[in-house]
A and B are shown apart, each in its own frame.
Chain A
Amino acid sequence: MKKGTQNIKEEEERWKKDCLGKYTFKKSETDWGMEIKTLYTQNDIQEIDYLEDIGFPGEYPFTRGVHPSMYLGRLWTMRQYSGYGTAEETNTRYKYLLEQGQTGLSVAFDLPTQIGYDSDHPLSQGEVGKVGVAVDSLADMEILFDKLPLDRLSTSMTINAPAAILLAMYLAVAEKQGVEPEKLNGTIQNDILKEYTVRGTYIFPVGPSLRLITNVFEYCSKNVPKWNTINIAGYHMREAGATAVQEIAFTFADAIEYVNAGINAGLDVDEFAPRISWIFNTHNNFFEEIAKYRAARRLWAKLMKHRFGAKNPKSWMFRFHTQTAGSALTAQQPLNNVVRVAFQTLAAVLGGAQSLASCSFDEALALPTEESVRLSLRTQQLIAHELGVTETVDPMGGSFYIENLTKRMEEEIVSYIDKIDQMGGAAAAIEKGYIQQEIQESAYLNQKDVESGKKVVVGVNKYQVEETSPQGLLKVDPSVGEIQVEKLKNLKVTRDNVRVESALTELKKAAEGDGNLMPPIIESVKTYATLGEICGVLRGVFGEYEGTSSI
C-alpha cells in the first residue's frame, strides 16, 4: 500500500474497478437531489481546510459547536412545546413537566391569541384553547406562570405577530413576582416573514410588522439584555415541505432581512445580533440533519462577520433550538413514532442543539397526553445520560461523509441566498411568491415519491397492518371557550376602564408616530387591556396583511 493523498485517489480508482465494480447496487441522492457517493474517503475532504473551515468549538466559524465544552459543560435545554386549554390547565402541565426533569418552558398559544383576537371574537369560535393555551390578558398570563420562578426558568414563547404584547405581559408577570428584567431568560419567536409564507398567523402588513420587531430589539437591548428577541424559524418551512437546504436558506434570507431592518432602524449590529436565536426542524435523514446544523453554524458566522461586519463573537454564534419533525409522524402505527423521534433527537444532539423539543408519538392524532410527552422527554434524557454521545465535543466532526456533506450543503444554501439577494431580499421574494412556490414544489415532489413508493414511509406505504382506532388520546375540554368568554366578561367589569382607555389612547398616538412601541404596550397590558383590544388599536393604525395563495 502506497502512502499520501494522490495515492488514496489512485487506490480509490483501483478499488472501484477491481472490487466495487463486481457488484450492482442502487444510486442514492440527498433530499435535495444531489448524488451521494457510494463511499467517502480522505479524497472528499481535500478541499476543506481544517483551521479555516472547521476549527475549534466556541471559536469562529463554530462548525463544531458554539461552546468550547458543549454538553460536557452543560446539556441542552429540554423544552417541550406545550400548551392547551386554559392557563390553569397549562400551568399544571408545566409543573408536571418540570417535575419530570424538563429544564425550560415552551409556550404554545392558541390560534386566536396568535392572531390577536380575544376568546369572545366571532372568529375565535371553535378555536379557543385548541392548539395551545388561550391568553386574553395579563390575568391569564399571571395564572399561566403562577408559582413558576421566572428568575430561574427560561421561557420560550411561540408568538409572532403580537410578540411584543405577549413579551410585555411576561415582563409584567415578572415584575409582580419581584424579578428584575435583567434577570429574565427566554425567547419570543417574533419572526413574521415565515408567517406570510408558511405558518399563517400574520396580522399586520410587512412595514409595521418589521417596526414592531425592531422596537423589541431596541427595547430589550437596553432593558432585558438576556432575552432572545427573535427566534428565526425554519421549522415551519420544513413542515410545509421544504428540503433541509431550503429550510436553512430561506430562514437565513429572512434573517438577513431582519438584520437589515435593525441596521436601517439605526441600531448597531452588535447591539442586537447576539440575541438572535433560531428554531429548526430535525427530520428523518440522519446525516443530512447533522451536516445541516454544522453548515448553518459556519455560514451564519461568515455572514455576520463579513456581510454585516459584526465584531462581537456573540453576534457570529448560531444558537438554535430544534424540534423533531411533526410532519414525519404517522397516524398509522403511531408507536413507530417513538423510534422516529428518538433518531431525530439523536441527530439534533449530534448536530449541536442548544435547546430541544421532541415530539410525542401521538401527535399525528391529537395533542400529547401526559404519558406520551413524558416518554418523549425521557427520550432526551436517555440520549443525554445513557448513550455516551455527550462525552466529547462534536463526535461526528472529521467523518469524511459528514464534512463533505456539510460543505455541499453550505454551497447549496449560499446559492439560494444569492438568488434571493438578486430578487431584492426575502420580503421581495415572498411578495413574488418565490419562496412559497419552491416549498410547495418540494412538498408535492415528496408526496409523489411517497405515493410511487420511491420513498418508503414505514407503516404508511410499506409494512401496513390492519389497525383499530387509537385509544386514550387527549381531548381539550370543549367548555374552554365558554370559560374564557366568562373570564373576559368579569375582567371588563372589575378592571379600571378609565385607565384602560387612556393607555390605549396613548398607544394609538405612539403607533401613529415613530417612537418605540414597547413602553405604551407595557403600560396597556398592565391596565389589563386585552390582547384583542391592543391588537385592535394597532390594526386600526397599521391595517392588516392580505394573504394570497396559489397552487
Chain B
Amino acid sequence: MNQDRKIRVMVAKPGLDGHDRGAKVIARALRDSGMEVIYTGIRQTPEQIVEAALQEDVNALLLSILSGAHGFLFPRIMELLKEKGLTDILVLGGGIIPEEDIPELKALGISEIFGPGMASEILINYIRENI
C-alpha cells in the first residue's frame, strides 16, 4: 500500500449489542498509533456497516460483538462486502466469540478473531502487516 496515505480503519458494532467499551478503546488505540479511525457507533445493521465501509474507503473493517449474534451477522456482512466488490478490505472480528466458531468465520474470509485481554499493539501490528 502507498505509505503516503494513512491506514483507514472502521470499527463497527453490528447487531443490537450495546457493549462498546472494547470497540472504543481499540478505536482510540488505533488512532493514537497514527491510523485514521471511523467508529460507527452501536446498533448498526450489516447493510449500514458495508455502506459506510464503501463510502469511507477503508483498508480494514473491525467488527466487535459480544451478544453471540456473530453467527448470523458476520456471514451477512461478508456476503454484502462481496456483493459490493469490497473483497480487498481486511476484516477482523473481536468480542466474545467461542473458539469453536472461529474456523467457520475464517472460512468466510474474516482474517482473524481477537478475544478479550488482547494488547492493542498486537492488533496494530497485525493490521500493518496484513493490509
A-to-B contact residues, CB < 8 Å: 111-112, 114-115, 117, 123-127, 130-131, 195, 198-201, 239-241, 327, 330-332, 364-366, 440, 443-444, 447, 451, 457, 460-461, 469-470, 473, 475-476, 478, 547-551
Instruction: Say whether, besides A123-B16, A239-B21, A447-B25, A549 and B41 are in contact (CB < 8 Å).
Output: yes
Contact of A127 among B16, B25, B41 (CB under 8 A): B16
Q: Determine whether B1 belongs to the interface, using a CB cutoff of 8 Å to chain A.
A: no
Please tell me if the beta carbons of B21 and A548 are within 8 angstroms of each other in the complex.
no
Q: Determine whether B67 belongs to the interface, using a CB cutoff of 8 Å to chain A.
A: yes
Contact partners of A127 in chain B: CB under 8 A: 15-17, 67-69, 72
Apart from A131-B17, A451-B121, A469-B100: 19 A-B pairs, beta carbons within 8 A: A126-B15, A130-B69, A199-B18, A200-B19, A200-B42, A201-B16, A240-B20, A331-B115, A331-B116, A332-B117, A364-B96, A365-B98, A440-B28, A444-B28, A447-B25, A547-B41, A549-B20, A551-B31, A551-B37
Contact partners of B16 in chain A: CB under 8 A: 111-112, 114-115, 117, 123-124, 127, 200-201
CA distance A327 to B117 in the complex (A): 10
B-to-A contact residues, CB < 8 Å: 11, 15-21, 24-25, 27-29, 31, 37, 39-43, 45, 67-73, 96, 98-100, 115-117, 119-121
Contact of A130 among B29, B41, B68 (CB under 8 A): B68
Contact partners of A366 in chain B: CB under 8 A: 96, 98
Instruction: Say whether, besides A365-B96, A475-B98, A548 and B117 are in contact (CB < 8 Å).
Output: no
Chosen A-B contacts, 13 in total, with CB atoms closer than 8 Å, are A112-B16, A126-B70, A127-B69, A131-B68, A364-B116, A366-B98, A440-B28, A443-B24, A444-B24, A470-B99, A547-B41, A547-B43, A551-B27
**Nearest A residue to B97, CB-CB:** A365
Contact partners of A327 in chain B: CB under 8 A: 21
CA distance A332 to B24 in the complex (A): 22
CB distance from B108 to the nearest CB of A (A): 14
Contact partners of A549 in chain B: CB under 8 A: 20, 24, 39-42
CA distance A127 to B66 in the complex (A): 11
Please tell me if the beta carbons of A126 and B71 are within 8 angstroms of each other in the complex.
yes
Please tell me if the beta carbons of A547 and B42 are within 8 angstroms of each other in the complex.
yes
Contact partners of B29 in chain A: CB under 8 A: 444, 447
**Nearest A residue to B45, CB-CB:** A123
Contact of A444 among B20, B25, B96, B116 (CB under 8 A): B25
Contact partners of B98 in chain A: CB under 8 A: 365-366, 473, 475
Contact partners of A460 in chain B: CB under 8 A: 117
Contact partners of B25 in chain A: CB under 8 A: 241, 443-444, 447
**Nearest A residue to B21, CB-CB:** A240
**Nearest B residue to A459, CB-CB:** B117
**Nearest A residue to B72, CB-CB:** A126
